[in-house]
Amino acid sequence: MKVGMSGITSFTGAWIARDVYRDSRVKSLVGFVRKRASDYDGLAKVRLQMLGSDVTLVEGWSLDSRSREMTTRSLEEIKKARVDVWIHHHHFMESFRSFDYDVETYRKTCIEPLEELVRTLKESGTHRIVYSGSYFEPAEGSFNDPAPTPYAISKAEVWQNLKQLARLNDIELAKVVIPNPVGPLENQDRLIPILINCSRENKVFQMRTPKSVADNLPVTELAPFYLRACFESRSSSESLVFRPSMGGVSNKEFADLVQQELITQRLRMSPCIVQYSDEINPLMRRNSPPDEVNVDWPKFWDFYAKMVE
């Protein structure tokens, strides 16, 4: 099988691409990226270096209804690649946590080009699309979130559009709902890198949401679900949906675990001082109904420490 995938320079995308390609059933993986590989820096550059020559890159690939020339060229690259399965992993992510999320740019890059993309995939022989969802979507794991962000709503909107377009183009559709991924090469504004950096620099970390519950999943546990989404047969006309889950723990509990297992025991550093805000309305987020994952946490912490060192 030949797999095409967008968004491979992201934290989750890089690990998914790496481990999907390593499966013996996958003969090749084509990664579609926005820039030339040599133009990436920081974590995105490191992630591409991790993938090495295993992944064939299509550079300068971008869908944007504001640029007909670029979109046409990118769709031609899809035709040339002729992939059996398309992993739809890209999404407009700038300021995604904010209620000031740029909805107009999101629509121009994620919604308006979607019809042409799905039609092009079908015409070039793709038989299945795998969508990377999020447990922030209103219909997913945010059990008591009174105000989903524009980003969360946007992820759900893409899924609804894909369902309609897949039906019209007679193409199979699957979805993996990503909870809260953790692991090496994650962005520096996430909890584990913050704790590590505060420990190194002897700084105090202020945790604003200690009581809120998150479904923390090692990023290396995602690929098996993507492989199932690529290969598993459907028992009905409904889309396959996978919701990997660890069940959820409070942010304070998880921070304590990181401090003990990773920072103290494996990195041999002093834990950073954490001050906890008085959280009034904690949120509970976890994938449901869950596809439960059994994680070898000691092995994962060993792996994380090795990558950090």
Q: Are residues 236 and 156 in the same domain?
A: yes
Q: Are residues 136 and 199 in the same domain?
A: no
For residue 71, being part of any structural domain is answered with yes
For residue 85, being part of any structural domain is answered with yes
d(CA 294, CA 296): 7
Q: Are residues 158 and 275 in the same domain?
A: no
For residue 289, being part of any structural domain is answered with no
* In the predicted structure, residue 142 carries a pLDDT above the cut 90: no
Segment 59-65 mean pLDDT: 96
For residue 161, being part of any structural domain is answered with yes
Query: Longest Cα pair distance anywhere in the chain, in angstroms?
Result: 57
Q: Are residues 253 and 238 in the same domain?
A: no
Mean pLDDT across the chain:
95
Q: Are residues 154 and 194 in the same domain?
A: no
Q: Which of 229, 228, 230, 246 is nearest to 288 (CA)?
A: 246
Q: Are residues 38 and 142 in the same domain?
A: yes
- For residue 112, count CB atoms less than 10 angstroms from its CB and return exposed for 0-12, middle for 13-18, buried for 19 or more: middle
d(CA 199, CA 188): 14
* In the predicted structure, residue 291 carries a pLDDT above the cut 70: yes
Q: Are residues 88 and 101 in the same domain?
A: yes
* In the predicted structure, residue 246 carries a pLDDT above the cut 80: yes
For residue 204, being part of any structural domain is answered with yes
Q: For position 235, what pLDDT does the model report? A: 73
Residue range(s) defining the domain that contains residue 208? 183-214+248-284+295-308
* In the predicted structure, residue 301 carries a pLDDT above the cut 90: yes
- For residue 225, count CB atoms less than 10 angstroms from its CB and return exposed for 0-12, middle for 13-18, buried for 19 or more: buried
Q: Are residues 133 and 16 in the same domain?
A: yes
Segment 291-304 mean pLDDT: 96
**How far is CA 239 from each of CA 130, 141, 164, 167, 222, rounded to the nearest angstrom?**
10, 18, 11, 10, 18
* In the predicted structure, residue 44 carries a pLDDT above the cut 90: yes
Segment 94-114 mean pLDDT: 95
d(CA 83, CA 93): 25
Q: Are residues 252 and 240 in the same domain?
A: no
Q: Are 45 and 71 in contact (CB under 8 A)?
A: no
Torsion of CA 188, 194, 196, 200, to 10 degrees: 100
pTM here is 0.96
Segment 21-46 mean pLDDT: 97
Q: For position 241, what pLDDT does the model report? A: 96
Range from 141-150, 189-198, 283-292 carrying the lowest mean pLDDT: 141-150
Alpha helices in 107-235 (DSSP H): 114-123, 150-168, 191-201, 223-231
Total count of domains within the chain = 2
* In the predicted structure, residue 139 carries a pLDDT above the cut 90: no
CA 117, 118, 120, 125 torsion-angle sign:
positive
Q: Are residues 222 and 94 in the same domain?
A: yes
Segment 13-24 mean pLDDT: 97
* In the predicted structure, residue 122 carries a pLDDT above the cut 90: yes
Q: For position 298, what pLDDT does the model report? A: 97
Q: What is the CATH number of the domain that holds 8?
A: 3.40.50.720
Segment 153-171 mean pLDDT: 97
Count of positions (residues) in the chain: 309
Segment 81-86 mean pLDDT: 98
Q: For position 253, what pLDDT does the model report? A: 98
Q: For position 54, what pLDDT does the model report? A: 86
Side chain identity at residue 277, one-letter code: S
For residue 262, being part of any structural domain is answered with yes
Q: Are residues 240 and 259 in the same domain?
A: no
- The CA-CA-CA angle for residues 262, 266, 271, to 5°, reads 55
Q: What is the CA radius of gyration of the chain?
A: 20
For residue 290, being part of any structural domain is answered with no
For residue 44, being part of any structural domain is answered with yes
Q: Are residues 34 and 61 in the same domain?
A: yes
